[in-house]
Structure 1
Amino acid sequence: MGAAGEVRILGPVEVCGPHGRAELNGARQRSIVAVLALRAGSPVSVDHLVDVLWGDDPPRTAVRSLHSHVARVRQALTDCGMPGALTTKPGGYQLDAVVDAKTFDRTRDLGLWRGEPLAGTELFGWGRAEIGRLREQRIAALEAYWGDRLDRQNAVEELERLVVGHPTRERLVGLLMRALHLDGRHSEALEAFKNLRHRLADELGADPGPDLTALHTAILRRDPALHSARPAQLPARAGHFTGREAEFDALKGLPPIVVVSGVAGVGKTTFAVEWAHRVAEHFPDGQVFLDLQRLTPARALTEMLHSLGVPADRVPADPTALYRTLLHGKRVLILLDDVRRARDVLPLVPGDQGNLLLITSRDTLSALGTRHAVHTVSLDLLSEREAQALLSDILGAQRVHAESDATADLAIHCGRLPLALRIAAARLAIRPGRRIADLVRELTRNDPLDVLTVDGDDRTVRTVFASAHRTLSPQAASLFRVLGEHPGASFPADLADALGPGLDELVASHLVNETGNGRYGLHDLIRLFARQSADIGDGVERLLDRYLTVAHAANEVLNPRHDLVTRPPSDDLPFPANRAAVLAYLDAERDNLLHVIRLAARNCLHRETWQLAYLLTSYFEARGNWAARVEQCEHAVEAARALGDRRAEAEMLRGLGIALQMTSRIAEAMVVQRQALALVREAGDLRGEARLHNNIGNAHSELREFERALESYRAAMGVHGAAGDEEGVALARRNLGYTYVRMGRPDLAAEPLFAALETFRAKENARLEAATLMSLGNAFHQLADLPQALLYFADALRISREITDHRFEADALTDLGVTQLALGDPAVALEHLARALEVCRALGDRHREATTLRRLGEAALALRDLAAARDHLTAALAVRTQAPDDFELAQVHRTFADLEGRCGRWTEAARHWARAVALFSSCRRS
Structure 2
Amino acid sequence: MSEPSGAEQRPGTSHSEVSGSSRDVVQARNVSGGIHFHEAGGGRGDRPAAHPTPRQLPADVSRFVNRTAELDQLDAVLTGEDGDRLVVSVCVIAGTAGAGKTSLALRWAHQVKDRFPDGQLYVNLRGYDPGEPVDAQEALHRFLTALGVPSPSVPHDPDAAAALYRSLLADRRALVFLDNAAAVSQVRPLLPGSAGCLVIVTSRNRLSGLAVRDGARRLTLGTLPEPEAVALLRAVTTGYRPEDDADKLAELARLCARLPLALRIAAERATSNPHLRLDDLIDQLRDESALWDALSTGEEESEAVRTVFAWSYRALPPRAARLFRLLGLHPGPEFGLHAAASLAGLSPTVARQLLDSLVGAHLLEQTAPDRYQFHDLLRAYATEQARQEEPQAERDAALRRVLEWYLHTADAAQSHLSPAEDHLPLAPPVEGVTPLTFSDYDAAADWAERDHGNVLRAARAAAEHDVLAWQLAAVLWNAQPPSAPLTEWLEVGRAGLEAAGRLGDRSAEALLLTDLGMACTRVNRLAESLESHREALRIWRDLGDRTGEAHSLNLIGLTCLRRRRLDEAARHFEEAIAAFEELDAAHWLATARSNLAGTHFRAGRLSEAAVAIEQALTGHRALDNRRGEGNLLRLLSDVRREEGRTEEALSSATEALEIALSLRDHRLEGFWLLALGDAQRAGGQLSEALTSYQRSATLHRRLGDRSREALAWSGAGETYRLLQRPEDAAHFHRRAAAAHRELDDAWHEALALDGLATALGDDDPQAARRHRADALRLVAAFDDPRAAAFRERLEALPTERD
1:520-548 Cα deviation digits (max 9, x unpaired): 44455544444333323333212211111
Change (3 A) 1:489 1:792: farther
- Maintained 8 Å contact 2:342/2:433: no
- Maintained 8 Å contact 1:497/1:503: no
Please report how far the alpha carbon of residue 885 of structure 1 lies from its aligned counterpart in structure 2 after TM superposition: 3.2
1:478 aligns with 2:322: yes
In structure 2, which of residues 575, 587, 612 is the aligned counterpart of residue 752 of structure 1? 612
Match of 1:583 in 2: 445
Change (3 A) 1:347 1:463: closer
- Maintained 8 Å contact 1:713/1:736: yes
1:303 aligns with 2:245: yes
Match of 1:632 in 2: 492
TM (normalized to structure 1)? 0.51
Match of 2:335 in 1: 491
In structure 2, which of residues 568, 576, 592 is the aligned counterpart of residue 708 of structure 1? 568
Matches within 5 A, 1:266-285: 273=224
Distance 1:683 1:915 in 2: 47
Match of 1:534 in 2: 386
Matches within 5 A, 1:312-391: 338-341=266-269, 343-344=271-272
Distance 2:694 2:734 in 1: 16
Distance 1:468 1:888 in 2: 66
1:822 aligns with 2:682: yes
Distance 2:730 2:305 in 1: 53
Give the match's secondary structure for 1:727.
helix
Change (3 A) 1:840 1:523: farther
Please report how far the alpha carbon of residue 915 of structure 1 lies from its aligned counterpart in structure 2 after TM superposition: 4.8
- Maintained 8 Å contact 1:827/1:863: no
Matches within 5 A, 1:419-818: 459=303, 466=310, 469-488=313-332, 490-500=334-344, 501=351, 502-513=354-365, 519-524=371-376, 526-535=378-387, 536-557=395-416, 558-559=418-419, 561-566=421-426, 568=428, 574=436, 576-601=438-463, 604-620=464-480, 625-818=485-678
List alignment gaps of at least 5 residues for structure 1. 1-233, 253-261, 281-286, 309-334, 349-451
Matches within 5 A, 1:25-40: none
Distance 1:597 1:750 in 2: 44
List alignment gaps of at least 5 residues for structure 2. 1-65, 75-92, 94-103, 113-123, 129-179, 181-201, 205-219, 251-262, 277-295, 345-350, 388-394, 788-802
Please report how far the alpha carbon of residue 714 of structure 1 lies from its aligned counterpart in structure 2 after TM superposition: 1.1
Give the match's secondary structure for 2:267.
coil
Distance 2:227 2:448 in 1: 47
Give the match's secondary structure for 2:424.
coil
Please report how far the alpha carbon of residue 736 of structure 1 lies from its aligned counterpart in structure 2 after TM superposition: 0.8
Distance 1:768 1:752 in 2: 13
1:768-801 Cα deviation digits (max 9, x unpaired): 1112222222222232322222222122112222
Match of 1:176 in 2: none
1:853-909 Cα deviation digits (max 9, x unpaired): 33223323333455655665566567668855343334344434444447x355655
Distance 1:511 1:851 in 2: 52
- Maintained 8 Å contact 1:237/1:274: no
Change (3 A) 1:584 1:908: farther
Change (3 A) 1:340 1:592: same
- Maintained 8 Å contact 2:332/2:454: yes
TM (normalized to structure 2)? 0.59
The one-letter amino acid paired with 2:486 is W
Aligned identity (percent) is 30
Distance 1:823 1:292 in 2: 71
Distance 2:69 2:733 in 1: 59
1:579-612 Cα deviation digits (max 9, x unpaired): 12212221233344433322212xx211112212
Match of 2:117 in 1: none
Distance 1:894 1:462 in 2: 69
Distance 2:713 2:397 in 1: 49
- Maintained 8 Å contact 1:687/1:720: yes
Change (3 A) 1:564 1:497: closer
Please report how far the alpha carbon of residue 343 of structure 1 lies from its aligned counterpart in structure 2 after TM superposition: 3.8
Change (3 A) 1:505 1:920: farther
The one-letter amino acid paired with 1:695 is L
Matches within 5 A, 1:867-886: 869=729, 872=732, 876=736, 885-886=745-746
Please report how far the alpha carbon of residue 571 of structure 1 lies from its aligned counterpart in structure 2 after TM superposition: 10
- Maintained 8 Å contact 1:886/1:923: no
Distance 1:836 1:236 in 2: 52
The one-letter amino acid paired with 2:526 is I
The one-letter amino acid paired with 1:538 is A
Distance 1:875 1:680 in 2: 41
Distance 2:226 2:618 in 1: 73
Distance 1:239 1:473 in 2: 39
Please report how far the alpha carbon of residue 715 of structure 1 lies from its aligned counterpart in structure 2 after TM superposition: 0.8
1:449-488 Cα deviation digits (max 9, x unpaired): xxx9656766366556555544544444434444434444
Distance 1:249 1:684 in 2: 65
Please report how far the alpha carbon of residue 553 of structure 1 lies from its aligned counterpart in structure 2 after TM superposition: 0.5
Distance 1:720 1:506 in 2: 55
Distance 2:741 2:325 in 1: 44
Matches within 5 A, 1:113-152: none
- Maintained 8 Å contact 2:411/2:479: no
1:115-169 Cα deviation digits (max 9, x unpaired): xxxxxxxxxxxxxxxxxxxxxxxxxxxxxxxxxxxxxxxxxxxxxxxxxxxxxxx
Please report how far the alpha carbon of residue 813 of structure 1 lies from its aligned counterpart in structure 2 after TM superposition: 1.5
1:608-633 Cα deviation digits (max 9, x unpaired): 12212222333359656333333332
Matches within 5 A, 1:185-264: 244=104, 247=107
Matches within 5 A, 1:913-924: 913=772, 915-921=774-780
1:840 aligns with 2:692: no
Distance 2:108 2:579 in 1: 73
Distance 1:701 1:245 in 2: 56
Change (3 A) 1:251 1:778: closer
Please report how far the alpha carbon of residue 643 of structure 1 lies from its aligned counterpart in structure 2 after TM superposition: 1.6
The one-letter amino acid paired with 1:541 is R
Give the match's secondary structure for 1:491.
strand
The one-letter amino acid paired with 1:729 is L
Give the match's secondary structure for 1:537.
helix
Please report how far the alpha carbon of residue 572 of structure 1 lies from its aligned counterpart in structure 2 after TM superposition: 5.2
Distance 2:740 2:663 in 1: 29
Higher relative contact order, structure no. (Cα contacts within 8 Å, ≥ 6 residues apart): 2
Match of 2:133 in 1: none
1:854 aligns with 2:714: yes
